[in-house]
Amino acid sequence: MNILPLVLYVVASGAYAVYFARRNEAAGRIATVTLVLGALTHTFVIGMQTMQVGHIPFVGTTGAISAFVCLLALAYLYTEMMTDERAMGVFIVPLMAILQIIPAVTNSVAERPAVLDSPWFAIHVSALLSAYASFALACVVGITYVLLFKELKAKHLGFFYARLPSLQVLDVMNSRAVAVGWLFLTLGLVVGAVWLVQIQPGSADPRVQAMSLLDPKIFVVLLCWVVYSFALYARRSIGWSGRRAALLSAIGFTILLLNFVPLGYFVTQSHNFY
Amino acid sequence: MNLILLGASHHSAPVELRERIDFSRRGVPDALSVLGEVPGITELAVLSTCNRSDIYAICEDAARQREALVAFMSSYHDVAESELAPHLYGRQGNDAVRHLFRTSAGLDSLVVGEPQILGQVKDAFTIASQGGFTGALLNRLSQRSFAVGKRVRSETGIGEGAVSVAFAAISLARKIFGSLKGRRALLIGAGEMAELTATHLRSHELHQIYVASRTAARAAVLAAKVDGRPVPWEDITEQLMSADIVITATGSASPIVTRRHLDTAMRSRRDRPLFIMDIGVPRDVEPSSGEVEQVFLYNIDDLRTIVRENLTRRQSQVDRAELLVEEEVDRFMVWLRSRAAVPTVVALRRQFETIRQSELARLEPKLASLPPASRERVEEVTRLLVEKLLLAPTEQLKSATDQETVAVYADALNRLFRLPDESGNSDSDAATAPARPTVPSPRTR
């Protein structure tokens, strides 16, 4: 079922690329419409899976990736509509298409182990995935900021100068995405911690017992929290906006992505629910 | 019917002559009303800008009316024909269409792709249309020319990139700050270029323009001109902390703004971007200042390079734009030729309809006994029969590619079907109907 959104994301990626390269308005409209269809189909697929298994299908990394992609699509579309700016699509939508390959080929919903049978589960996972989507957006916006910044500094006004919005717009987008992401990340972590305190004493599940600050997945996500907290602090208190803020958000998301896919699949002892 | 154009532009005439034949001096409506009296002209439009004076006319006899237009230009502007004629160009038919389309697209402009011309073409045809000087043909031509102008600009990069130093500076500032609304600009020095850029900045709703000059009186004069505020020369360092855009043009032998100044200013600005345009020669801002984070320093040569690159980029789009124009000219000419066939088509249809009606009338006694539904059916069948019989000849006639073919077809149809003389019958509009003697002047309408 995850194949259809994948196909739509791939088509949207192509259309965004054509729009970006040739500044063809018709291609831009096709891109947005295809992405809207992709996001709707994806939401429908997740809804169907929820009905099928009786809980949100975010158990395990595969389900989480699918949900992350869907949230990213919605977050991006929201930004596109708010700013009336399509140039960013070419950087974000291909990332969604690539990640969506994993749920599309796996195509199964992980069974929910008894330990996750709690209302905290939906809040914990949804908050963290929303945070990841916001940070992904911030990262891509940050990268485009740096590309435009370099052209302006080098006085070589070319490809990106003609296509990207102003540095100011990109900086504001980055700052908002980081702030929203940080709120979700904090909420997700707090809910996770409270939930763990409740269940750890009585649980025999080895994964629950493995949950500690030293577990790679938990450790790295806390590291990300520190990076993004610093980014927020630096912007407010020492004036790190623009390029520095953009680089920080790119670093933060790179760590998150590593944590999400390779660590989530192969290393963590505590979060292996796939 | 012939479309002719007579005009002079920056390509053909020196500025001294262009000034003398500028229609805007007495107003285009006045020129139109005088031109409307020229016999044989059925439609008219006058395009007058600082770079061109073009007259578009629909007339019966191209050669004769061209001479009449030259005579008009000469007498109206009081310039001897012998002096004027070498600088005029005349175009006819598709060449005239091409000229207008190229003009709208900005291909004939001094600065290729400039945007103002499209609005000027629009105004010219609106004035002509409001005065009642245009008909079906020029109306269609003007609509197509706006569409071509827009299409060329959107499908090629011919109108992209600033092509003057002041606009290049503004577009850079907008790429850094987005909207310039509420931003502060600081002018250091009071040169002409600084004034020009400041004037452009004014139209972007800046919060304030501060002017600093070594001579306080000069600062006050320029501040008054650009609606800004003079500030003391000693306050420059302090002003650097709050300004967003700085323009320097002092002519000082040593830098006025040093890297040290900017290092200090940027610390208190907390990385808020600062765009500096140094148009002084020698330079007023220490070149290494550009290395400071969030300082965007452009000197006059950088800005000129941007302008040059933009012009080159626009030039590289000219061939694509010309192809689009050519495509549109062909499309328009096909439409125009199909118009030439209209009187024949109308006469042919009328002939067939007359036959149908007379046959129905002849059969009336027999049809009278039929129920109403059957009579309606007979009416419908005969009408459809006529439609179908006429479909192929109409299409063939309208799709003929040249006027000779249209004439041969029309002649053959006239003879074969003994069509009545079209001049007495055609009810088609002014563009294709035989000419009205002259355009009635607005006074008589």
Predicted confidence (pLDDT) per residue in B219-249, tens digit: 898 888 888 899 999 899 889 999 999 999 8
Residue B444, in any domain of the structure: no
For B140, phi then psi, to 5°, come to -65, -40
Contact B61, B52 (CB under 8 A): no
| Cβ separation B302–A161 shorter than 8 A | no
ipTM value of the model? 0.81
Same domain, B117 and B242: no
Nearest partner of B127 among B187, B46, B209, judged by Cα: B46
Phi, psi of B392 (to 5 degrees): -60, -50
Q: Which residue of A has its CA nearest to B298?
A: A155
The partner residues of B32 in beta bridges, in order of sequence, read none
In this structure, are residues B231 and B212 in contact, taking their beta carbons and an 8 Å threshold?
yes
Q: Is the pLDDT of residue A56 over 50?
A: yes
Residue B282's alpha-carbon distances to B139, B249, B253, in angstroms, are: 55, 9, 6
Gap between the Cα atoms of B175 and B169, Å rounded:
10
Q: CATH no. for residue B299?
A: 3.40.50.720
Q: Measured between CB atoms, does A137 come within 8 Å of chain B? A: no
* Residue A161 burial (10 A CB sphere; 0-12, 13-18, 19+): middle
CB atoms within 10 A of CB B217: 10
Contacts of A155 in chain B (CB under 8 A): 298, 302, 305-306
Quick check: is B99 in a domain? yes
Q: B221 and B244 share a domain?
A: yes
Q: How far is CA A161 from CA A146, A207, B163, in A?
A: 12, 50, 15
Residue with tokens 């099928």: A52
In the block, which residue shows the tokens 């740096």?
A146
- Tell whether B112 and B145 lie within a shared domain: yes
- What phi and psi, each to the nearest 5 degrees, are found at residue B17? -75, -40
Q: Tell me if B2 sits within 8 A of B92, measured CB to CB.
A: yes
Q: Give the Cα separation of B148 and B323 in Å (integer).
A: 11
User: Which residue in the block uniquely carries the two structure tokens 């008909």?
Assistant: B135
Chain B residues touching A242 at Cβ < 8 A: 271, 273, 293-294
Residue B361: the pLDDT is 92
At residue B432, the 3 state secondary structure works out as: coil
Length of chain B counted residue by residue: 445
B198 and B256 both lie in a single domain = yes
In this structure, the answer to whether residues B79 and B196 fall within a common structural domain is: no
Q: pLDDT under 70 in chain B at which residues? A: 401, 421-445
- Which burial class, exposed, middle or buried, applies to A70 when counting CB atoms under 10 A from its CB (0-12, 13-18, 19+)? buried
Determine the structural domain holding residue B396 and report its residue range. Answer: 341-439
> CB-based contact (8 Å) between A152 and chain B?
yes
| Same-domain pairing of B283 and B215 | yes
Strands (E), chain A: none
What is residue B39's predicted lDDT score, i.e. its pLDDT? Answer: 87
User: Does residue B198 share a domain with residue B81?
Assistant: no
User: How much is the average pLDDT of A23-28?
Assistant: 87
Shared domain for B105 and B39, answered yes or no, is: yes
Max intra-chain CA distance, chain B = 109
Is B150 in the A-facing interface, judged by CB distances under 8 Å? Answer: no
CB contacts < 8 A, A to B, total 51
Instruction: Using alpha carbons, select from B187, B249, B193 the residue that is nearest to residue B224.
Output: B187
Whether A152 and B178 lie within 8 Å, measured CB to CB: no
B59 is a catalytic site residue: no
Strands B184-188, B52-59: pairing kind? unpaired
Say whether both B134 and B77 belong to one domain.
Answer: yes
**Does pTM surpass 0.90?**
no
Contact B175 A155 (CB under 8 A): no
CA dist A246 and A140 (Å) reads: 9
Q: Which of A155, A167, A240 sits opposite B176 (nearest CB)?
A: A167
| B204 at interface of A, judged by CB pairs closer than 8 A | no
Of B175, B270, B298, the CB nearest to A167: B175
Mean pLDDT for the stretch of residues A52-70: 81
Is some CB atom of chain B closer than 8 A to the CB atom of A153? yes
Distance from the Cα of B260 to chain A's closest Cα (Å) equals 19
Chain B nearest-CA distance from A75, in A, is 22
Domain shared by B240 and B345, yes or no: no
Structure-model confidence comparison of residues A167 and B401, the more confident one: A167
Give the residue from A153, A159, A169, A248 with the most B CB atoms within 10 Å of its CB, the best one to mutate.
A153
CB atoms closer than 10 angstroms to residue B396: 12
Kindly determine whether residue A166 and residue B177, on different chains, have CB atoms separated by under 8 Å: yes
Look-up of token digits 């900021």: A145
B151 plus B178 within the same structural domain = no
Residue B250 · residue B188 · CB < 8 Å: yes
Answer whether B176 sits within 8 Å of A244, measured CB to CB: no
**Candidate from A162, A168, A240 with C-beta closest to B160:** A162
Residue in A with minimal Cα distance to B273? A242
In terms of Cα–Cα distance, which of B435, B444, B443, B445 is closest to B39? B435
Nearest to A157 among B177, B294, B306 (CB): B306
The nearest alpha carbon in chain A to B267 belongs to A239
Check CB contact of B305 with chain A, cutoff 8 Å.
Answer: yes
**Min Cα–Cα distance to chain B from A92, Å:** 22
Q: pLDDT: is A52 or B81 the higher one?
A: B81
CB A240 within 8 Å of CB A232: no
- Asked if A241 and B271 come within 8 Å (Cβ–Cβ), the reply is yes
From A263's Cα to the closest Cα of chain B, the distance in A is 36
| A132, A61 contact by CB (below 8 A) | no
Nearest chain A residue to B180, by CA = A168
CA distance linking residue B65 with residue B99, whole number of Å: 18
Query: Which among B49, B30, B171, B53 has a CA at the least distance from the CA of B119?
Result: B49
In a domain, B117, yes or no: yes
User: Which pairs with CB-CB distance under 8 Å and at least 24 residues apart come from A207-213?
Assistant: A207/A115, A207/A269, A207/A270, A207/A271, A207/A272, A207/A273, A208/A115, A208/A270, A210/A269, A210/A270, A211/A270, A212/A270
Considering only CB atoms, B178 lies closest to which of A153, A162, A169, namely A169
Cis, bond preceding B442 (omega within 30 deg of 0): no
Distances in Å between the alpha carbon of B135 and those of B43, B223, B439?
6, 52, 10
Q: What pLDDT is attached to residue B340?
A: 76
> CA-CA distance, B258 to B251, in Å (whole number)?
15
Q: Are residues B115 and B20 in the same domain?
A: yes
B183 in A contact zone (CB under 8 Å): no
Cβ burial of A205 (10 Å; 0-12, 13-18, 19+) is: middle
Q: Running DSSP on this structure, what letter comes out for residue A158? A: -
Cα B339 from Cα B341, distance rounded (Å):
5
SS3 of residue A199 by DSSP: helix
Beta-carbon separation of A155 and B309 below 8 A:
no
Query: Is residue B131 one of the residues assigned to a domain?
Result: yes
Query: b/e string for B168-195 if b means 16 or more Cβ within 10 A?
Result: bbbebbebbbbebeebebbbbbbbebbb
Q: How far apart are the first and last CA of chain A?
A: 18
A238 pLDDT above the threshold of 60: yes
**Could you tell me which of B122, B98, B99, B102 has the C-alpha nearest to residue B49?**
B122
Cβ pair B306, B274 in contact under 8 A: no
Q: Do A167 and B305 touch (CB under 8 A)?
A: no
Q: What residues have CB less than 8 Å from A202, skipping those under 6 apart? A: none
> Would you call B14 exposed, middle or buried from its count of C-beta atoms within 10 A (0-12, 13-18, 19+)?
exposed
Instruction: For chain A, give every domain's residue range.
Output: 1-107, 115-274
Q: For residue B329, tell me if it sits in a domain.
A: yes
Pairing of strands B208-212, B89-92: unpaired
CB-nearest to B178 from A157, A162, A168 is A168
| Number of domains making up chain B | 3
The amino acid sitting at B89 is Y
Catalytic residue among B34, B50, B292, B311: B50
Least confident of A166-170, A270-274, B149-153: A270-274
CA atoms A77, A82, A87, A88: torsion sign: negative
Which pLDDT score, from 0 to 100, does residue B434 have?
36
Interface check A165 vs B, CB under 8 A: yes
Separation between Cα atoms, residue B207 and residue B220, nearest integer Å: 18
**CA–CA–CA angle A65, A71, A76 (5° rounding):** 125
Give A 24-43 residues with CB within 8 A of chain B: 25
Q: How far is A19 from chain B (nearest CA, A)?
A: 12
Q: What is the DSSP letter of A112?
A: P
Cβ contact A95:A165 at 8 Å: no
Identify the pLDDT of residue A260.
73
Contacts of B270 in chain A (CB under 8 A): 238-239, 241
Mean pLDDT of chain B: 86
Tokens for B288? 């290494």
Q: What is the 3-state secondary structure (H, E, C) of B30-47?
A: HHHHHHCCCCCEEEEEEE
- The pLDDT, as a whole number, for residue A108 is 66
- CB < 8 Å from A in window 307-336 of B: 309
B302 interfaces chain A, CB cutoff of 8 Å: yes
